[in-house]
Homo-oligomer: A and B are copies of this chain.
Amino acid sequence: MEKNRVEAFSDGVIAIIITIMVLDLKPKPDEVELTNLKSLLPVFLSYVLSFIYVGIYWNNHHHMFHSTKHVTGGILWANLHLLFWLSLFPFTTAWVGANHRAPTPTAVYGFVLLMAAIAYFILQHAIIAQQGRDSLLAAAIGKDWKGKLSPVLYLAAIPLAFVSPRISDGLFILVAFMWLAPDRRIERVLAKRERE
């Protein structure tokens, strides 16, 4: 089975997720002052953070499938599972944006991040299993310390939200920065194999 339609469908879903989150950014009809924007700031910042997260997922998804040739039924469903958790981002983003000082929305935001990370991990291993011993993806991710550290930090952020949502927010931003730093593992391995 070819991978093109899986990529196209995932691109479509991720494009919609990243865009509909902006629908929560809505000033009330009679708010026309710069100070009204200030009350929108938490919604805006949670949008920015989620935009970056979805961007990271799309980026990594792009790299992951780039190293993939064939797609099995298992990979299809592991991919849909990942898309499911990503599809909850608009909900958690809206909730945390409207209540950024409340612990529960922040904890739930972290929970959905955690589940997405686990879903990504499962998808990654479904692809590695299909690629077999010479797996390009396995070689590319190496020890995958980012992929292993991220869920640990999300897991810590969930109870910490009940201490202070700010700590959890800090952890979410930390993980995002960790992934934003250019990750050339797959590019490097691909380039190396082509040279050989």
Contact of A14 among B9, B23, B66, B91 (CB under 8 A): B9
User: How many copies are assembled?
Assistant: 4
Q: Report chain B residues within 8 Å CB of A108.
A: 37
B25 and A104 within 8 A (CB):
no
* Minimal Cβ-Cβ distance residue in B for A59: B76
The A1-44 residues at the B interface (CB cut-off 8 A) are 1-2, 5-9, 11-20, 22-23, 25-27, 29, 32-34, 36-37
From residue A151, how far is it (CB to closest CB) to chain B in Å? Answer: 21
Stretch of A94-102, A133-141, A169-177 lying at the B interface: A94-102
A94 and B26 within 8 A (CB):
yes
A22 and B88 within 8 A (CB):
yes
A15-B9, A80-B55 are known contacts. Are A105 and B25 too (CB-CB below 8 A)? Answer: no
Q: Report chain B residues within 8 Å CB of A25.
A: 88, 91
Q: Report chain B residues within 8 Å CB of A5.
A: 7, 11, 62
**Which A residues have a C-beta under 8 Å from some C-beta of B?**
1-2, 5-9, 11-20, 22-23, 25-27, 29, 32-34, 36-37, 48, 51, 55, 58-59, 62-63, 66, 73-74, 76-77, 80, 83-84, 87-88, 90-91, 94-95, 98-99, 102, 104-105, 108, 180, 182-184, 187
